[in-house]
Amino acid sequence: MPVSAFAVLGLLSQAPASGYQLAQLVDGPISNFWPMSKSNVYGELVRLEELGLVEASDVSQVKLPNKRVFHLTAAGEAALDAWLREPTFRKERRKNSLLVKMLFADRLAPEHIVALVEAARDEAESERARLAAIVDALAEFPAAQWGRSTALFGLRHAEATLAWADDMRHQLDQPVSNATPRRHDTSA
């Protein structure tokens, strides 16, 4: 099963939820490291229900349509626990359009490369500040140590991006080699 299926099982292990509630939950902390669309959540619920790993109950609501609330079955708990115990994980490659641009940066004028690096640095600094606040806030709650560990991972990633941007800035400040760019972008 895909990681997104196990993410849904994990959320349901914390509390039963409707598809809508799960979609809201994946927009929270999980989206920092495992983005999922609303349609992805609903698709996983269908798959998990067909596999007998979750069950749904219809819940009546006043002045609202009925909703289906999902909960883990014993088989779902066993599948989640088995997956969590596996000592291996599938490392997913991150998509990063900045790195695609940097790969072909020899086509740009130096000031445009500097602008790309500075934009990446600004974004990483903003992310670093946001995640540092989460890490600090969660430090007060021992029960949140594993949630804090995911924010700490993101914080360290942002710090690594900052270090990379600083290295690139230093490199860009050095004298240019004799290599001739293929084409300088002269557009503003």
Q: Cα(57)–Cα(14) distance, rounded to whole angstroms?
A: 17
pLDDT for res 184 = 55
pLDDT tens for each residue of the chain, 188 residues long:
888 899 899 889 989 999 999 998 888 777 777 888 889 999 999 999 999 999 999 888 888 888 899 999 999 999 999 988 888 877 776 777 788 888 888 888 889 999 999 999 999 999 999 999 999 999 999 888 888 998 999 999 999 999 999 999 998 888 765 555 555 555 55
Cα angle vertex 8, ends 6, 10, to 5°?
Answer: 70
**If we measure between CA atoms, which residue out of 20, 28, 92 comes closest to residue 56?**
20
pLDDT for res 34 = 82
Q: Which helix (H) or strand (E) holds 21?
A: helix 19-26
CATH architecture of 3-85: Orthogonal Bundle (1.10)
**If we measure between CA atoms, which residue out of 16, 71, 6 comes closest to residue 36?**
6
pLDDT for res 176 = 62
pLDDT for res 185 = 54
pLDDT for res 112 = 92
* DSSP-derived pairing of the beta strands 54-61 and 17-18: unpaired
